[in-house]
Structure 1
Amino acid sequence: MKLVFCGTPEFAVPTLEALIAAGHEIALVVSQPDRPVGRKQVMTAPPVKQTALKHGLTVTQPEKIKNNVEFRERLEEIRPDAIVVVAYGRIIPAWMLALPRLGCINLHGSLLPKYRGAAPIQWAVANGETETGNTTMLLEEGLDTGPMLLQQVIPIGPEQTAAEMFPILAEKGAPLVLDTLAGLADGTIVPEAQNHALATLAPILTREDGRMDFAARKASELFNRWRGFQPWPGAFALLEGKKLIVHRMMQVDGTAAVVPGFTPGEVRIDGQRMLVGCASGSALEFLEVQPEGRNRMSAADFLRGNPAAVGTRLE
């Protein structure tokens, strides 16, 4: 088929590679503009652009697409059979949705209609789901509301983080897109409307999502949110008004019985273990932390350097 591919981050690269390997004609790759990265703010091409150029493909990076006359004329001239969209990061306008004969096909990292939105993988992990997956669908003007084409279920391990799930979903999603294109072309796939009553949202993450609320959430909930919010916004709390980032943690069983009167947010020590009380008598053990303005360190090293932290309360 003649295709236009729209994608930006690493998550989209396996699908682009698979489409190329399958022999499809990628007439144009559309990606977001280069952005400054790192402390030195070096202008860096997104992973999809880097991959496309490696394969000698034509790339365009429009800042806006909705009312971009030049971009529209270019796509109309190509007349693609389908437009494949994977984590592009832009809303696809109506004129673009109507352009290809097979439609605009999107790979979404959740089992729709659950987790519609910008961060489906992160929220599935953060909410303690034991499985997630990929869905291919036909894009329409609503947010991830289009008819579903194919789905695949992928388990989430009890210790797995969102950062670990991203490459798994990306790799497994690539052949799903190939199967979707083939099924649409030969008529074996019938689009299925989503049950909108079952929809849940996965909104874009904010820094505040990483803040740990020990009074409102049990240890299991805080642990799942830490897993889901890797690599960003992570998990943090305030200790005497200063930020304490928690890089590694684990749940502790039976702590309420071992430590009477353990209140939410309270820091206790058990040998060299740093324990923190959570809601409903539960507790977490912090394994690796980073005090504000300092490097990462083990919780044991932190306690040795900050003995006054024991008995204080994290907020």
Structure 2
Amino acid sequence: MTHADRRILFAGTPQTAVPALNALVEAGFTIAAVLTRPDAPVGRKRVLTPSPVAARAAELELPIIHSSRLTGDAGRATLDRIAALDLDAAAVVAYGALVPAAGLALPRQGWINLHFSLLPAYRGAAPVQHAVIHRERVTGASVFQLEEGLDTGPVYSQLTREVGPEESAGDVLEDLSHSGARLLASTLSSILDGTAEPVPQSGEPSFAPKLDHRDGYIDPNQSAAAVAARINGTTPEPGAWTLLDAEPPVRVKVVGAVPEDLPERDASELPVAGSAVGAVVRARSTVHVRCADGWVRLERVQPAGKKLMSAADWARGLPEGSRFQSETTPIETAPIEGTR
């Protein structure tokens, strides 16, 4: 059989799933349908907008099945539509809903999932964000057989990628979405040819539940490395933010950060010894925040109600002595637990 003889369901929703859909089409697979979540309100005007995967499927003139879940009455109706497709396999990339046992059995080769971590590390909805927050220097992607457990199925293939201390979760995920797409297409081909051998996951799993706005809070009472990782790990979603210690407090969003050992680099220009934790200091064209054990250089800042700007432009208008509020309990000590 050729790839064109293989009928594939593609299930995905966000932009990070689009490269995988493109890779399967380019590899010559027959995409019998695309399963994605329904149109959702976007922007301040809350305009109903197709998911990125739905938009790309429409451009490719592929049949689209909209469904927010595969359980309940609506889910059973969706599974009936999927059953009628006579599928060889289903490929999944960040669809956004769990597949019940009744659905897992529908394609002849089951559901093949592309997950953006080196399983069993960071099972769950936000693997790249958690990997960056926890300062992993190597992450990757896994193609595995979906089963009822949360990202527990046997793994067919993996790739690894180094993570730089200045990289955001968005940077890493964008890169992995493309390399992972190629891995999914080649692995799916091997699975359908009967040459792929899945390997059970081994080792202690960790979990990466979905993040919310509270996870983006920047606490300068942490180490400089942890503060930079918190900022980069929650960029672009859910967004890193803090409060300037003012009356009333001013909320600001921070995009991009790098830990730096400023006492050695520029001791003559920065009041290092007398700077309290959270102090915002501008030297030349850079802006730094004092953390528990050092400094973090800020890249871009977005004050509430204003556009994103360089940290240097933002700091020019700050009153002398401005500082980030700090918490007494460092956020980095919170355990990673839960499911999506």
By how many angstroms is 1:161 displaced?
1.5
Specify the alignment match of 1:314 in structure 2.
Answer: 325
RMSD, matched Cα? 2.1
Specify the alignment match of 2:295 in structure 1.
Answer: 283
Q: Is 1:201 aligned to residue 207 of structure 2?
A: yes
Contact 1:126 1:229 in 2 (8 A): yes
Alpha-carbon separation, structure 2, partners of 1:313 and 1:157:
25
Q: Percent identity?
A: 40
By how many angstroms is 1:305 displaced?
2.5
Q: Is 1:18 aligned to residue 23 of structure 2?
A: yes
Q: Structure 1 length as normaliser, TM-score?
A: 0.91
Contact 1:267 1:314 in 2 (8 A): no
With over 3 angstroms needed to count, the CA separation of the structure-2 counterparts of 1:142 and 1:264, relative to structure 1, is: same
With over 3 angstroms needed to count, the CA separation of the structure-2 counterparts of 1:24 and 1:272, relative to structure 1, is: closer
Q: Is 1:224 aligned to residue 229 of structure 2?
A: yes
Q: 1:126 aligns with which of 133, 140, 150?
A: 133
With over 3 angstroms needed to count, the CA separation of the structure-2 counterparts of 1:236 and 1:26, relative to structure 1, is: same
Specify the alignment match of 2:14 in structure 1.
Answer: 9
Specify the alignment match of 2:338 in structure 1.
Answer: none
Contact 2:23 2:185 in 1 (8 A): yes
By how many angstroms is 1:112 displaced?
0.6
* DSSP-derived class of the 1:202 partner: coil
By how many angstroms is 1:55 displaced?
1.6
Alpha-carbon separation, structure 1, partners of 2:304 and 2:16:
31
Q: 2:149 aligns with which of 142, 145, 168?
A: 142
By how many angstroms is 1:219 displaced?
0.9
Structure 1 spans left out of the alignment, 5+ residues:
none
With over 3 angstroms needed to count, the CA separation of the structure-2 counterparts of 1:14 and 1:301, relative to structure 1, is: closer
Paired residues for 1:89-108 under 5 Å: 89-108=96-115
Q: Structure 2 length as normaliser, TM-score?
A: 0.84
Bigger Cα displacement from structure 2, 285-294 vs 26-35: 285-294
User: What letter corresponds to residue 220 of structure 2 in structure 1?
Assistant: F
With over 3 angstroms needed to count, the CA separation of the structure-2 counterparts of 1:314 and 1:270, relative to structure 1, is: farther
Alpha-carbon separation, structure 1, partners of 2:182 and 2:88:
18
Specify the alignment match of 2:83 in structure 1.
Answer: 76
Contact 1:108 1:134 in 2 (8 A): yes
Q: Is 1:169 aligned to residue 180 of structure 2?
A: no
Paired residues for 1:44-63 under 5 Å: 44-63=49-68
User: What letter corresponds to residue 288 of structure 1 in structure 2?
Assistant: R
In the TM superposition, structure 1's runs of 4+ consecutive aligned residues that sit over 6 Å from their partners are none
User: What letter corresponds to residue 58 of structure 2 in structure 1?
Assistant: L
With over 3 angstroms needed to count, the CA separation of the structure-2 counterparts of 1:124 and 1:255, relative to structure 1, is: same
Structure 2 spans left out of the alignment, 5+ residues:
1-5, 327-340
Alpha-carbon separation, structure 1, partners of 2:288 and 2:231:
16
